[in-house]
Amino acid sequence: MLPRPTIDDVAAAAGVSRATVSRALRGGHRVSSRAMTAIQQAVARTGYVVNRNARNLASHRAQSVAFVLCEPPQRLVADPSFNLLLSTCAQELTAHDLILTVAVTTGPDLRSWVRRHLLGGQVDGALVVSAHASDPIADELHGAGVPVVVYGTPFPATDPAPGADDIPAPVYVAADDRSGATEAVRHLLGRGRRTIATIAGPPETACGLNRLAGWRDAVGETTDDRLIAVGDYTAAGGQAAMAELLHRAPELDAVFVAGELMAAGAIAALSRAGRRVPDDVAVAGFDDSAVAATIWPSLTTVRRPLAEISHRMVELVLELIDGGSPRSLTLPTELVIREST
Amino acid sequence: MLPRPTIDDVAAAAGVSRATVSRALRGGHRVSSRAMTAIQQAVARTGYVVNRNARNLASHRAQSVAFVLCEPPQRLVADPSFNLLLSTCAQELTAHDLILTVAVTTGPDLRSWVRRHLLGGQVDGALVVSAHASDPIADELHGAGVPVVVYGTPFPATDPAPGADDIPAPVYVAADDRSGATEAVRHLLGRGRRTIATIAGPPETACGLNRLAGWRDAVGETTDDRLIAVGDYTAAGGQAAMAELLHRAPELDAVFVAGELMAAGAIAALSRAGRRVPDDVAVAGFDDSAVAATIWPSLTTVRRPLAEISHRMVELVLELIDGGSPRSLTLPTELVIREST
DNA sequence: GTGAAAGCGCTAACAT
DNA sequence: ATGTTAGCGCTTTCAC
């Protein structure tokens, strides 16, 4: 690394003081236009770039936001949703001249690493993504006064711990998984399907629970436990779950699957079992990455507005950083109808 | 944010000087075990976390590495490979107690932002991922003395610009796309296929060129331009390209596709056209995320060792940061045979 | 509108 | 092994 010019070099080159350069560098308030142009030229000439460590140390800010993924990394790899979330957040933050630092947390070591870094004052706020509602990391950061926005539906109607009223839960942005699931199942019913099974997500995840609840809302009292199988959001899991459903309830004519990868696995299982999709069995999934549109038959799915979710998360965390106290948000989903139903 | 304790608070609480605490905090060399324990207790008691801005300012390091994606973000979203790269790099760096900051560069504004940020001294090195070999950002950073490791195959046999010998090109880590493609096509030939078409990537990407070259290596002199279509690595692009191939060369009995999403699209197009896979047409793809294993029939693909690539990229950038001058690496691919061939 | 001066919290010589 | 002393490069009162 070559020695970089400092603010003093710029000041000298522009014939002004360091303080004036500092003012000019952000906003340029209280700087004469004469000095302003001289400084701009000096910056260009010297190739000056502000040292953020020095700036942040002096100004007690960090100019950065952390993106914390509280999931085993293979889930990040497997689930295209996380990408969209991450890259959209990165772009939004970049547009606000903030830096995004990423942490993938698995295991106690990484969790403590995350704590050390996020609590170290080099982060203005954090975006926490976790399938598990009310992740301890989010609560801890929030309790420590770090502005936090969580992605994920909170568990339905949990009683707050007694005496915890003074520290309200972190702000979250969620998709309305439950209604989305209901809409998908109603669509299946509207297509004349009568025996609609479901492949649910793990019960310890809020979205697993909510999508299952949405299925129940639509199928009504007729709920038959034979029609419920549980997967782990992977294609392999979906395949196994579908095979099991076919075994337990061979008469089924539709299945609502709580994840797109699982749905792709379900379609593979149906194809192997000689059932045609959608003629014999209609399949509706959840989430809408390239996979849903790519497989054959293409998948009818419930789309979460991930881009907007990221957008809102960034918006809310900036509001929190500015001292505001925004409310949590639940955004509606959208049913995308394709060939599989 | 609450006011955080400083190193002086810890020093006072432990009854030692600030310098001793500083030594104890990293490594603990030249610190008596007596002082060491006192400091550890003081840290625990005060809840002290080092301020990295101050540390980095004083030590002229950044303790962080940037992950720069020189692609439109929709590609990140669409291509599962980038995820794996990103999350593996994040983990590796975390294990070395480094922070990963992410930059997604699209458009001139963001590119200039990236420059400002990476040149600002708060980054020790950069990992640049781009489909376009020798991306200007990588060259610029490298030219400015920032340790850079690029992911991506360099263009085949480009003559270096005259006089550029003093600044050799950045170090890269690549997969051997060309041999991988050849192996896949030989596999197709081994299955008795005779008319093997290809869906190539865009010619301005190195991997597009290399995979096409690998196909040529295997099919030999019989190369027939009717058998080459070009896609953009998306499923839709693959679908369109396959439809075109079917139109131009209806007699084809196999196709080698330069990307997994395009391959999925190709299978969809074949299914729609009433061709059975693999009975009528065998399909081999490139890259091996959840998609390849999930679709039906599951896809035979060339797998790039992405986890190892990330591992190596981190290793090399650390070596560069330490002042070493490691060599570039090309890693072999692996053919994963599934149902589609 | 501009400059002087005092830190921000830490590391890194240099003494001891 | 430990303490003292300077800064690192910037922001930020506070005078002018």
pLDDT tens digits, residue range B309-331?
A: 999 999 999 999 988 999 999 99
Average pLDDT of the segment spanning B97-106: 84
**How many residues in chain B?**
341
Distance of C1' in C9 from CA in B50, Å: 9
Between helix B7-14 and helix B33-46 the angle, nearest 10°, is 120
For residue A278, say if its preceding peptide bond is cis, omega within 30 degrees of 0: yes
pLDDT of residue A166: 54
Question: In chain B, what residues touch A261 (CB-CB under 8 Å)?
Answer: 290, 294
pLDDT at residue B92 tops 80:
yes
Tokens 């609480």 identify what position? B13
Helical H segments across B193-340, by residue range: 206-219, 235-248, 260-272, 290-294, 306-321
Question: In chain A, what residues touch B295 (CB-CB under 8 Å)?
Answer: 264, 268, 294-296
pLDDT of residue A213: 94
pLDDT of residue A341: 95
pLDDT of residue A159: 45
A132 pLDDT tier (thresholds 50, 70, 90): low
Q: Do A121 and B264 touch (CB under 8 A)?
A: no
pLDDT of residue B27: 82
A185 pLDDT tier (thresholds 50, 70, 90): very high
CB atoms within 10 A of CB B16: 21
Contact in structure between A333 and A187 (CB atoms under 8 Å): no
Average pLDDT of the segment spanning B270-285: 95
Between residues B105 and B140, the one the model is more confident about: B140
Q: Do B265 and A54 touch (CB under 8 A)?
A: no
* DSSP-derived pairing of the beta strands A334-336 and A329-331: unpaired
pLDDT at residue B179 tops 70:
yes
Distance of C1' in C2 from CA in A62, Å: 28
For residue A287, what are its two tokens? 């989430």
Side-by-side strand order, sheet with A148-151: A329-331, A171-175, A148-151, A125-129, A64-69, A99-104, B99-104, B64-69, B125-129, B148-151, B171-175, B329-331
pLDDT of residue A280: 97
User: What are the angstrom distances between the C-alpha of A198 and each of A213, A260, A281, B2, B132?
Assistant: 11, 13, 12, 47, 44
Average pLDDT of the segment spanning B89-94: 88
Contact in structure between B130 and B70 (CB atoms under 8 Å): yes
The C-alpha atoms of residue B151 and residue B174 are separated, in whole angstroms, by 6
Average pLDDT of the segment spanning A33-49: 93
Contact in structure between B77 and B46 (CB atoms under 8 Å): no
Residue of B204, B100, B95, B229 whose CA lies nearest to B152:
B204
| Global model pTM greater than 0.85 | yes
pLDDT tens per residue across span A256-309: 999 998 999 999 999 989 999 999 999 999 998 877 888 889 999 999 999 999
pLDDT of residue A143: 84
pLDDT of residue A293: 84
Residue of B279, B274, B255 whose CA lies nearest to B266:
B255
Q: Is B236 on the interface with A (CB under 8 A)?
A: yes
CB of B8 within 7 Å of some strand C atom: yes
The C-alpha atoms of residue A144 and residue A161 are separated, in whole angstroms, by 18
Least confident of A159-163, A191-195, B266-270: A159-163
Between residues A236 and B70, the one the model is more confident about: A236
Contact in structure between B239 and B267 (CB atoms under 8 Å): no
Question: Nearest nt to B59, CA vs C1'?
Answer: C11
Q: Do B296 and A295 touch (CB under 8 A)?
A: yes
Nearest protein residue by Cα to C1' of nucleotide C2: A20
Between residues A79 and A254, the one the model is more confident about: A254
CA distance A143 to chain B (A): 10
Average pLDDT of the segment spanning A214-223: 87
Chain A 42-101 contacts with nucleic strand C (CB below 7 A): 54, 57-58, 60
B157 pLDDT tier (thresholds 50, 70, 90): very low
For chains A and B, CB pairs below 8 A equal 185
Nearest protein residue by Cα to C1' of nucleotide D3: B17
Q: Do A50 and B86 touch (CB under 8 A)?
A: no
For residue A297, say if its preceding peptide bond is cis, omega within 30 degrees of 0: yes
Contacts (Cβ under 8 Å, ≥6 apart) of A277: A267, A270, A271, A283, A297, A340
Q: Is A259 on the interface with B (CB under 8 A)?
A: no
Side-by-side strand order, sheet with B300-303: B228-230, B196-200, B254-257, B282-286, B300-303, B334-336
Q: Do B2 and A83 touch (CB under 8 A)?
A: no
Question: In chain B, what residues touch A4 (CB-CB under 8 Å)?
Answer: 119, 121
Contact in structure between B227 and B316 (CB atoms under 8 Å): no
The C-alpha atoms of residue A248 and residue A252 are separated, in whole angstroms, by 9
CA distance B104 to chain A (A): 6
pLDDT tens per residue across span B214-255: 999 999 877 678 999 999 888 889 999 999 999 999 999 999
